[in-house]
A = this chain, B = another copy of it.
Amino acid sequence: MRAIVVKPPKPGVEFRDLSQAIRHGSGTVKVRIIENGICGSDREIVRGELATARPPEGKDWLVLGHEALGVVEESKDPRFKPGDLVMPINRRSYHGKCLNCLVGRPDFCEANEFVEAGMVGMDGFMVEYFYDDPKYLVKVPPGIADIAILAQPLSDLEKSVEEILNIQRRFIWTCDDGTYNCRRAIVFGSGSTGILMSLLLRTLGFEVYVANRRDPLENEAKITEEAGITYINYSVEGLDRLKQMGFDLVVDTTGASASLIGHEVEMLKPNGVLGLFGFPSEGALTLSNEVIQRFIYKSNVIVGLINGQKPHFQQALAHLAQWKATWPGVVSRLITRVVDVNDEKEVVQVLNRKEKGEIKVKIKWGQ
């Protein structure tokens, strides 16, 4: 059984033939992998830069991969039949006894009692097949199999937006027509996360801006145009202009310098919220006492956003289906490259570096 294996904290990645099948929880459903998605965290692990990465207990290696689409091959669970397309959930409670874990929400675990497939203490999904627990499998409609791999990264954003909207329930944040159509949002970062977050907020009715410090690539320009999103090159527009505009919702997906966050705080309108998604890799945030005074006066909120769970995977699949019917052009542009798993050299290459213009790269195993 072939698998793509890493040995955190050491850098490197390799194909390996496993002698023993991977099995999670009850393991009553055998899943054959169709394809995996690659994201920035995979590359951080490969480069030996993700501090939290670690193998499962008792091993010094780990199967990589937390984005996967598979097909059921065998099942002892009546809810799953051979042939069903499925997607495994990546963060799972691990003997979690905190209340949020008990109700199926280890994204809000307070006791650090969870593992993360392909990252933290649990084998991932870049493997020919594995046995899984039905609790952590989500069914995928065949009609969207081509883009379903996006549901994992999108699930994190579904959870993030759900959390933001829950926070905003403390006052009336809907408009005088009951919708969010009067609310203005800006997403910083136009990578995979930034684009998906922009599409999601647009879907929910927001007026959406997506900002980066360069002009849009052709793909970005076409996606944002079709979806009615405004792309902003803030190295041209200037951050002051954005502070003057004011936004009800600012989401940072850059994972770049923390210093940008200080500017983002100043863009908030009264009752506005700043969501931080993606860990800043350097720098520091500085806010003067006057900026904090205005933050308080405006009842603003800053919230840290992480990890979607099963309901968010389901919601992500629903939104992908919706987008396929309403924004066919957008959807056709989100998968920017497909690599055959048998082309091992190329697989290792895409696991090592991000390409210019990349939104989502897939590794194809079969079907």
Contact = CB atoms under 8 A, between A and B. Distances in A.
Contacts of A303: 299-302
Contacts of A169: 166, 169
Interface stretch (A10-18, A69-77, A279-287, A352-360): A279-287
B302 A280 contact: no
Could you say how many copies of this chain the assembly holds? Answer: 4
A21 interface: no
A167 interface: yes
Interface stretch (A36-44, A234-242, A317-325, A341-349): A317-325
Contacts of A176: 99, 102-104, 135
Interface in A249-295: 257-258, 261, 269-271, 276-289, 292-293, 295
Interface of A: 99-100, 102-105, 107-112, 135-136, 141, 143-144, 162-163, 166-167, 169-172, 174-180, 203, 205, 257-258, 261, 269-271, 276-289, 292-293, 295-306, 309-311, 314, 318-319, 321-328
11 contacts: A99-B175, A103-B172, A103-B176, A105-B171, A179-B311, A257-B289, A278-B296, A282-B289, A284-B289, A300-B304, A301-B301
Given A143-B325, A177-B309, 9 more contacts: A99-B103, A104-B178, A105-B178, A108-B171, A110-B269, A144-B326, A174-B311, A178-B311, A322-B322
